[in-house]
Amino acid sequence: MIYKYRTKSDELIVFEILDKRSDLQGKDKQYFLNLLKGYEGEVLFDSLTEQLQSDCLVLNDLLLEVNNTIFQIDSLILIDGKINTYEVKYLEGDYLYESNKLFKKPRLEVINPILQLSRSESLLNQLLRNHGCQLPIDATVVFNHPTFTLYQAPLHLQALLPTQINNHMKTLDSIPSKINEKQKKIAELLVSLHITKSPFTKVPSYRYEELRKGITCEMCDSFDVVTEGRTCLCRECGHRESVSSAVLRSVKEYQMLFPEGKITTNLVYDWCGGIHPKRSIRRILSTNFMNVGVNQWTYYV
Ligand SMILES: [Zn+2]
C-alpha cells in the first residue's frame, strides 16, 4: 500500500513554468531536463510499486536529515521485517562497469550510484537509531530506463537492471508479509521527519518583466490560446478549458514564481497577457479569493 505519494518538487514546478515563460539556456536548461527525466524515472518505478499486493508500506520521495546531513530516498518499502530502499536512476544507453567505476560507453566516467548506497544506508540507520527504532536495511539502485544496458555487471551488484525489475516485484509479492505496529511507527516517523522544502535548489534568478505573459494551454503549454465566450480554446491542440479555470491556473503559476507578490486585478490582467477583460478577471478573483482593501487598492488572498 502506498503510504506516502510522490509529488513534483517545487523546484521542478518552478523550472517548468520558467521553461515555457522564458528562455532557459545552457546549464539551467540541462539541469531542468535532468530533473524532469529523474522524475519521469521515479514515476515509472512508482507504477510498479503501486501494484504490489503483499502487505507492505511504500514511502516515496523522502528527504531526511540526520546529524546536519540531508539525504534523499527515492522509494522505501517496509516489508517482511526489513526496509528496502531504492535509488532510481533513469540512465539511457550503454554503460560499462569496471573496478567499481561506472562509465558511459565508450569511456566517460559518471558517478557510480551503487557506491553511494552505503552512505544513505548508514544515514538512515543512524536516524532510526536516534529514534530508538531499527530494522535491517537493504539498499538497491534501480536502473529502469528500458534502453539501459550494463556491460561487465558483477554477479552480486546492489542493483536492479531493466530485465530484473519485474522479477524483483514478483519476489516482493510472494513474501507472506504482515505489517506490524513497529513498521507502522517507522512509516509514521519517516513521514513526520520528511523535509518538504528542499534547501538545495538551482533555480536561476528571474524577474517578472522578463517573463512571457499570457495564458498557456493546460495540455500542450502553447500560448496560442483564444477566448470563445467563457471558454479558452487552444489553437495548437484544440483543448478547451473554462476561462475561470485557466485564469486561476495562471494565478497559481504566478504565486509559485512570486510567493510574496500581491494578487490584484491589474496584475492578473497583465500576467494573462491582457486577453481577458478586467471585469471578468475581477469576478473570477472575487469568487475564488478573499478581498483585502477597497477599490483600486484591492488585492486577493
Ligand atoms: Zn493545447
> Does 144 have pLDDT greater than 80?
yes
Find the 233 Cα to ligand 1 centroid distance in Å: 8
CA 235 to ligand 1 centroid distance, Å: 7
Distance 276 CA to ligand 1 centre (A): 18
Rounded to the nearest angstrom, the distance between the alpha carbon of 224 and the centre of ligand 1 is 8
Read off the pLDDT band of 293 (50, 70, 90).
confident
Our CA angle for 24, 28, 30, nearest 5°, is 100
Instruction: Write the DSSP assignment of 70-127 as a string of letters.
Output: EEEEEEEEEETTEEEEEEEE---SEEEEETTEEEETTTEEE--HHHHHHHHHHHHHHH
According to the model, what pLDDT value does residue 299 have? 83
CA–centroid distance, 15 to ligand 1, in Å, is 19
pLDDT band at 150 (very low <50, low <70, confident <90, very high): very high
Q: How far is the CA of 248 from the centre of ligand 1 (A)?
A: 17
Please give the distance, rounded to the nearest whole angstrom, from the Cα atom of residue 168 to the centre of ligand 1.
39
**CA of residue 20 to ligand 1 center, whole Å:** 13
Contact indicator for 276, 236 with CB cutoff of 8 Å: no
- Residues 213-228 have a mean pLDDT of 96
**Residue pair 237/225 in contact by the 8 Å Cβ criterion:** no
Q: What are phi and psi of 259, to 5 degrees?
A: -60, -20
Q: Give the global pTM.
A: 0.90
